[in-house]
Each structure stands twice: as C-alpha cells, then as structure tokens.
Structure 1
Amino acid sequence: MADFCFNVSLGRVAELYHRVKIGDPSGCALVIVALAAAGIESDAVLKDKDTLADVVAGSTNEATNAGYSRRALGSIDLVALAPDDVNDRLDLDIPDQTWTNVQSAGGAWAKLVICYRPAAASADSAIIPMTCHDFAVTPDGSNIVMQVDAAGFFRAT
C-alpha cells in the first residue's frame, strides 16, 4: 500500500486544484473522502477508477462511522499556486482536517481520497478522484486528525 495519483488525474491535479482556488466554475471544491478498511481493493485496482462512484462501486466502501462526513474545501481553504522555481516543482497543500468524536461502529479506515467536485450538487459519478493516501485509523470515539505532510498532499515535478 502506498500513496498514489489516480490514472484519470495524471497531469491534471495542479490544474484541478487551481480551478478550485479561482472558483471556476462556481461551487467547485476539493472533497476528502475516507475509505473503510473492510473490503478495500488493491492500489492497482483503485488507481484505474475514473470517478468517485467507480471507487466505491466494487468491494471498496466509504466510511460510515458516526462523526465522519466528507470534507469540501473551497477557494478560501486553499493557498495560491506557488511554483518552486529553485527546485523545479510545484507542491500543493490543503489544511489539516479534524473529524470530531468518530465512533467505532462502521469499522477502521484505510485511505483518504482527495477528489475534484465540479459543482456543489455533483453526483459521485461526476467527482474525479485525484490522489489516494494511506490512512490506517481505527475510530474509537475520539477525534481523528488528518495531518497533511509539510510539503503538501501532492508534488508535481
């Protein structure tokens, strides 16, 4: 298991992030989705999924624990694109997230998926998965904190 970029988003993550940052179209957002550990498919299978609906269509399921909900990040939540010209790369960052009092019923989590949602009312079939991150957590009624690496959630080189 490892962090990866979904094939459908290869070469697109920075542009989709930028679209959210500038609000084009209005209502677009990055969405953070937790995947349950039970039934999780392999990274090789998951990376071929083209929509969030595809991601949760097989044996992989979204977390259902009380206290969990998807997180939507809009323009005000994201920092502006800032290419690192010295190191010839672009790091994309999102704020750390906290889910409060996440209950154990629903089971453990395995991964977090960062997606692009084109509009506020988008169905899962229109939401594009961008990156997937290992996130092995067993909820127990306490808070769950997603701490993003200091370099960000994605690096384009």
Structure 2
Amino acid sequence: MGNIVFNIALAKVAYYASLPAANDALIAVPIETSGIVSDATMRDYDDLSTLLAGASNEQTTMGRKTLASVTVTVDDTNDRVAVDCADITWTAATGNAISAIVICYDPDTTTGTDADLIPLTKHDFTITPDGSDVTATISDFFRATSSA
C-alpha cells in the first residue's frame, strides 16, 4: 500500500483509478534516490511537473510504466475501497538507483504534459538497477476506509 497519498488526491484516488475518461491511464514513475524529498514535502506537490521541478528526479533510464489490470473494489464488510493493479516489470533495468515509485493519473494519454499528471500515491521502492528484470508488486496500491 502507498506510503503517502498526495494532498491533491485525497478522496479522489478511487475515482481516478476507475479510469473514467476515454484515453486516461495510471502511470508509474520511478524516482531516483539522489535528491528525493521527504514525504512531508512530496505530498504537497499538485502535479508531476512541479514534483520533478523540485529536488526529486525521475529515473528516466528505466522509464515510466502504464499500470495494467487496475481494479477498484468496494468492500462493504470492512467499510473500505481498495485499488489494485498488476505487478509492474522493468525489463533489463539500468540507470541510477531509485527509492520510490509515484503513481499518477494521466487524464489524456494522447496529449498533455507532466503538468497534467496528478500524483496519487508514493511507494517506497529501493533498488539499484543492474541490468536484470525488476518487478514491483504493489498490493492494493491504495486503500481508503470510512471514518464513522
């Protein structure tokens, strides 16, 4: 499950994960270890462009991945909603070490810029790519419960 939910995405993640638009997607962005900001700082960024304009750097050698098999499950028994996706695999991963994966909502994959990508969750994921395949298993990348 995500280590933080970005302030801009509170109460919106389940909606975005349902992929309500015609050409939308959830995108995993690897973030380099060097320069990564604290969770307290990171959660205040409202779009990917602003996040990357700060001290944090995208690890571009591995590249972004579109999440597959995204599911939103309403759990009435436990009064929560869970969002899950298939494992994310980078084949023959190389480049700088990473410490996190940020999952963003892209409202239109056919146009737009990083300023359009809304950061939803950040997951601690520490690896040093060495040319082997890397798989991130993110079970229930987001879970929200109701407060009574």
TM-score, shorter chain, exceeding 0.5? yes
Alignment of 1:139 with 2:120, yes or no, is: no
Alignment of 1:129 with 2:119, yes or no, is: yes
Which residue in 1 is equivalent to 2:45?
Answer: 49
Which residue in 1 is equivalent to 2:138?
Answer: 148
Q: Deviations over 1:78-99 (max 9, x none)?
A: 22x3211111111110110110
RMSD: 1.3
Greater than 6 Å deviation, 4+ residue runs: none
Alignment of 1:78 with 2:105, yes or no, is: no
What does residue range 106-121 of structure 1 map to in structure 2 within 5 Å? 106-120=95-109, 121=111
Task: Give how far 1:71 is off.
Answer: 1.0
* Gap runs ≥5 in structure 1: none
Task: Give how far 1:140 is off.
Answer: 0.7
Which residue in 2 is equivalent to 1:8?
Answer: 8
Task: Give how far 1:26 is off.
Answer: 1.0
Task: Give how far 1:72 is off.
Answer: 1.6
Alignment of 1:90 with 2:81, yes or no, is: yes
User: SS state of the match for residue 73, structure 2?
Assistant: coil
Report how many residues are paired: 143
Task: Give how far 1:122 is off.
Answer: 2.2
Which residue in 2 is equivalent to 1:69?
Answer: 63
Task: Give how far 1:107 is off.
Answer: 1.5
* Gap runs ≥5 in structure 2: none
Which residue in 2 is equivalent to 1:27?
Answer: 23
Give aligned-pair identity as a percent. Answer: 40
Q: Which amino acid aligns with 1:11?
A: A
Task: Give how far 1:69 is off.
Answer: 1.7
User: Which one has the bigger strand percentage?
Assistant: 2
